[in-house]
Amino acid sequence: MQRVELQPAFVVHARPYRDTSFLVDFFTPDYGRLCAVARGARRGKNSQRPLLNPFIPLLISFQGKDSLQLLLSLESTGHGLPLTGNRLFSGLYLNELLRRVLSEWDSCPHLFEYYTEALRALAGDQDVEVVLRRFERQLLQELGYAIDWHCEAHTGSPLMADAWYRLEPQEGFIESAPDERGRYYLGANLIAIAEDSYELAETKRAAKHISRTLLQPLLGDQPLKSRQLFL
């Protein structure tokens, strides 16, 4: 039986379990995503309950033998990140993404840092789209699905600003003349995305499309539900 003390964590999702408990999905740096039972947390005046919500930085202690852990204690290390409106929906989108593509017990300290940064940026006043695109790229990179954002996939020569490219999810960007079928990206936009500069609306559109294409094989047939929330 392993016992883990004071591990930083965020709640990804909590759902009612039995009469008085919650089954909680946590995201931690050293243990990745894990599932723990918060026993008795749904009882009337339980002090854990307000903390079992997403977007609050926590320290958790848990123990267990197999995949399901027992939550021993939790405390918050700071204020919850106040997300409202579209920023709240974006936070839920990040959580749904984590839940769908991250397997349990897969340690990913970098991704935890990126996630924390993304939530802070959402709680601040950064452009929502830029925050989401950046996190999606970091997520793909940490999961080992990164593509080369600097070189053409077949020739290995650097991307050129005035050339057109198509995306092959397994390989990368391939230079080809645009036609009516399929989607083509201007080199300038790809270079801008690689440099994390999203000043043009066109760059944002390209980044969104590329993210969706790359995430598609990881998500399978079921679309992300949180996308429906954006009005």
Residues lying near another protein in the complex (CB under 8 A) are found at 12-13, 15, 19, 25, 47, 50-51, 53-56, 76, 79-80, 82, 84-85, 88-89, 91-93, 95-96, 99, 224-226, 228-229, 231
Nearer to another protein, 85 or 156 (CB): 85
Nearer to another protein, 188 or 224 (CB): 224
CB 133 within 8 Å of CB 203: no
Nearer to another protein, 76 or 107 (CB): 76
Provide CB contacts within 8 A for 70, sequence distance 6+: 36, 37, 39, 62, 63, 64
Q: Smallest distance, Å, CB 6 to another protein? A: 18
- Compute the half-sphere exposure of residue 80: CA atoms within 13 Å on the CB side of its CA: 13
What does the alpha-carbon distance between residue 209 and residue 229 come to, in Å, rounded to a whole number? Answer: 18
CB 185 within 8 Å of CB 206: yes
What does the alpha-carbon distance between residue 102 and residue 97 come to, in Å, rounded to a whole number? Answer: 8
Q: Smallest distance, Å, CB 48 to another protein? A: 10
121 class by beta-carbon count within 10 Å (0-12 exposed, 13-18 middle, 19+ buried): buried
Q: Smallest distance, Å, CB 222 to another protein? A: 8
Q: Smallest distance, Å, CB 212 to another protein? A: 16
Nearer to another protein, 50 or 217 (CB): 50
Residue 90 corresponds to which amino acid?
S
CB 26 within 8 Å of CB 37: no
Q: Smallest distance, Å, CB 201 to another protein? A: 22
Nearer to another protein, 135 or 185 (CB): 135
